[in-house]
Amino acid sequence: MNPQANAISESSLESQAIAPAVISATRRMYWSVRRELWESRSIYIAPLAVAAVILVGFLLSTVAGIWEKALRLDPVQQSAKLAEPYSFAALLIMLTTFIVGVFYCLDALHGERRDRSILFWKSLPVSDLTAVLSKASIPLVVLPLLTFAITVATQWIMLLLSTLVLLVSGGGVSTLWTHLPLLQMWLLLLYHLVTVHALWYAPIFGWLLLVSAWARRAAFLWAALPLLAIGIVEKIAFHTSHFTALLGYRVSGGPESVTVAPGSVLDPMTHLTPGHFLISPGLWIGLAIAAAFLAAAVRLRRYQGPI
């Protein structure tokens, strides 16, 4: 055998063995998102804690028979009354995850500079774009999906608890299951989370990430004070409140996301107007602004060092 050929083949095998594995951009993004979930446990602990409190309160009210009077109302009033605690539970969980998203974004890029872990993360083969997008995916993708899953599980447990109590007390279980529009509520909830929390709120979370990438301290104040200053200057100089109204319009979710028809509160087909929402200028202007904020956050992370 040719010793030179053997040497060449052995050297090629050794080079292949020590060559670094090529990691796809999708896998880097996946592990970056998992890193955020590992480091920020409040993302799922806070809504789960709120859901637990809701279940305890609902169980006590059900045992006390507070909601049994709704079973004696007419069918239209029954549906509205039975849905009240379930709607309240969904509202509390959505509010909790929104607050979690706000504080997460304010600390996402600021925290890694404060504790100097940014030096370690920058040494990994993960681009600044992937890092920022993985952080943006938490409030825009992960939290809406988590909100939907926790809300559905919570409302399902609420239904089972009320069913159990009614079976023990001899109440109208069939009336509860017939007149509670749970599937319709879930459909409306999913639509609201996708349109408002994932799309309409995108510029809000983009702005918070930009401030987090720039501020050296007090990120919350730097996020709020410029907006407050613009509103005050406009009011003093021009005696108008257009900027304040614009912020309120954005935070409120915008009328394009959900349209409620009078007299048909529980019919989801009157609520869902995706065509009207997708052609609204406010949606696309907001998404363009969110993209600009995220691009600026990527650039800032590239050049910003530890605090």
Whether 266 shows a pLDDT value over 50: the answer reads no
Q: Highest mean pLDDT: which of 102-111, 113-122, 298-307?
A: 102-111
Q: What is the model's pLDDT at position 254?
A: 74
Number of domains in the chain: 1
Residues 262, 271: Cα–Cα separation, whole Å: 10
Residue 145 lies in a domain: yes
Burial of 192 (C-beta count, 10 Å sphere; 0-12/13-18/19+):
buried
Residue 6 lies in a domain: no
In the structure, what pLDDT confidence band is assigned to residue 117 with cuts at 50, 70 and 90?
confident
Residue 183 lies in a domain: yes
**Of residues 176, 208, 187, the one with CA closest to residue 106:** 208
Q: What is the model's pLDDT at position 264?
A: 39
Residue 143 lies in a domain: yes
Mean per-residue pLDDT over the chain, rounded: 82
Residue 12 lies in a domain: no
258 near 190, Cβ under 8 Å?
no
Helices (H), the chain: 3-18, 25-39, 42-63, 75-114, 118-122, 128-137, 143-169, 173-179, 182-192, 202-214, 219-238, 242-251, 274-278, 281-303
Residue 17 lies in a domain: no
Give the residue-averaged pLDDT of 87-103: 94
Could you list the residue range(s) of the whole structural domain that residue 239 is in? 23-303
| Residue 258 bridge partners (DSSP) | 272
Q: What is the model's pLDDT at position 31?
A: 87
pTM of the complete model: 0.84
pLDDT tens readout for residues 122-149: 787 888 899 999 999 999 999 999 999 9
Residue with tokens 């896998």: 27
Residue 24 tokens read as 């796809």
Residue 52 lies in a domain: yes
Residue 15 lies in a domain: no
Least confident of 25-39, 211-225, 270-284: 270-284
